[in-house]
A = this chain, B = another copy of it.
Amino acid sequence: MHIAVLGCGQLARMMALAGLPMGMTFSFLSENNEDTAPVAGLGPITAMDESLTSSELYEALGKPDVVTVEREQCSLVPLKRLAEHCAVHPNPQAIYQCQNREREKQLLITCQVPHTPFVSVASAADLHKAVSELGYPLVVKHTEQGYDGKAQWRLYDDKGVENFIADAHFELQSDQAVPYVAEPFMDFEREVSFIGVRAANGEVRFYPATENVHKSGVLLHSVAPAPQLSSELIATGQAGLKAILEHLDYVGVMAMECFVTSDQLWVNELAPRVHNSGHWTMHCGVVSQFENHMRAIAGWPLGSTNLQGAAAMLNLLGVELNQASQLQDDVALDWYNKSVRPGRKLGHLVLTDESPAAALARLQPLKQKVYGAD
């Protein structure tokens, strides 16, 4: 079973590291001079070249049985070309739906999934409408740019709105896609994510929901199972994600990020791929999100998504690796072999314990050790 992955970052790396033990082999397709260090040594790397025909691209990747992606913000052109020769999972249409926040919102509406209220913003008039419908503060998000909290603006008053309109130059933008969505500033209590996997035969499984804490828009740590999440909210989340997976005829892992306010769940974002908030599954579940993604896209039976005990995951953001101090008895290290830059996701630590509370209690000193006192 030979798999080609579009993208060469840590998610591609961890997919390969999950597939290699099962006898899979890998090749990687890089775009836009991306850093390929995370997948170096795990299989041949081909740089995307739009002049390649579909056959040439297929052959350059070693005639994969299946093609998958590590990110939704990618060119669909090579995926559509490769789909002439082999399976592409998730399917390009599913990726297309999740590439744009506005299309994603429409998908949530179609699938009747509870989501953050929003107004599509393609003009100054739309933004004024958003203010009157949603009030201040308003969060405006670019529909196609932005990752880890980038390309988002908080507007607190009319002055902010006017400044945004001046910068946005709506009058110059093509009308091919809605450029922004406006949302109310959600005064949420916490963020949780659901990670599901759908097999080729339609079977759907979920990992226990995970609670996530972000810092400057970037995931800092997670704990699973999400403490004190009611069975009603879990059922709502899983039903929503299942509806989406089935609507898209999706094969593989998908993550769904949600805000939780008092007793309600609001879906904020979908990721048609393995997800940072599921990294703990590598060290605590029976079969990790990465292995289940590989099993699903290969057409193999899914593995158990049951959690054994509890886990906490700490992202290593912009810090040098020091295994001797960061690794402990029940701490696992995954390091992505990237060069160190401030704030960059360089690796993560996972610790396991008997309960989420016990895992969280041990996460705090680990965080201090890695990042120093708050």
Q: Which of A1, A329, A337 has the most CB of B within 10 A?
A: A329
In the assembled complex, how far is the CB of residue A351 from the closest CB belonging to chain B, in whole angstroms? Answer: 10
Residues of B within 8 A of A309 (CB): 308
Docked Cα-Cα span, A327 to B287, in Å, equals 12
Interface contact A329-B300, CB-CB below 8 Å: no
Residues of B within 8 A of A22 (CB): 323, 333-335
The verdict on A52 contacting chain B, using a C-beta distance below 8 Å, is no
In the assembled complex, how far is the CB of residue A348 from the closest CB belonging to chain B, in whole angstroms? Answer: 10
Docked Cα-Cα span, A298 to B308, in Å, equals 28
Given the known inter-chain contacts A283-B286, A334-B22, please indicate yes or no for A327 contacting B303, CB distance below 8 A. yes
The verdict on A20 contacting chain B, using a C-beta distance below 8 Å, is yes
Residues of B within 8 A of A41 (CB): 20, 25, 41-43
Docked Cα-Cα span, A321 to B298, in Å, equals 14
In the assembled complex, how far is the CB of residue A204 from the closest CB belonging to chain B, in whole angstroms? Answer: 14
In the assembled complex, how far is the CB of residue A162 from the closest CB belonging to chain B, in whole angstroms? Answer: 49
User: Which partner residue on chain B sits nearest A1 by CB separation?
Assistant: B323
The residue from B301, B321, B332 contacting A329, defined by CB atoms under 8 A apart: B301
User: Which partner residue on chain B sits nearest A23 by CB separation?
Assistant: B335
In the assembled complex, how far is the CB of residue A321 from the closest CB belonging to chain B, in whole angstroms? Answer: 6
The verdict on A330 contacting chain B, using a C-beta distance below 8 Å, is yes
List which A281-295 residues lie within 8 A (CB) of chain B.
282-283, 286-287, 291, 295
Interface contact B347-A23, CB-CB below 8 Å: yes
The verdict on A173 contacting chain B, using a C-beta distance below 8 Å, is no
Interface bits A315-328 vs B (CB < 8 Å: 1, else 0): 00000010110011
Interface contact B300-A324, CB-CB below 8 Å: yes
Interface contact A329-B308, CB-CB below 8 Å: no
Residues of B within 8 A of A23 (CB): 321, 333, 335-337, 347
List which A5-35 residues lie within 8 A (CB) of chain B.
14, 17, 20-23, 25
User: Which partner residue on chain B sits nearest A350 by CB separation?
Assistant: B286
Residues of B within 8 A of A270 (CB): none
The verdict on A261 contacting chain B, using a C-beta distance below 8 Å, is no
With A21-B282, A301-B323, A308-B308 given, name 7 new contacts (CB 8 A).
Answer: A17-B21, A22-B334, A23-B333, A23-B335, A25-B337, A300-B323, A302-B329
Complex A-B, nearest 10 residue pairs according to Cβ-Cβ distance, in ascending order: A23-B335, A308-B308, A300-B323, A304-B330, A301-B327, A21-B334, A22-B333, A304-B329, A300-B327, A17-B21
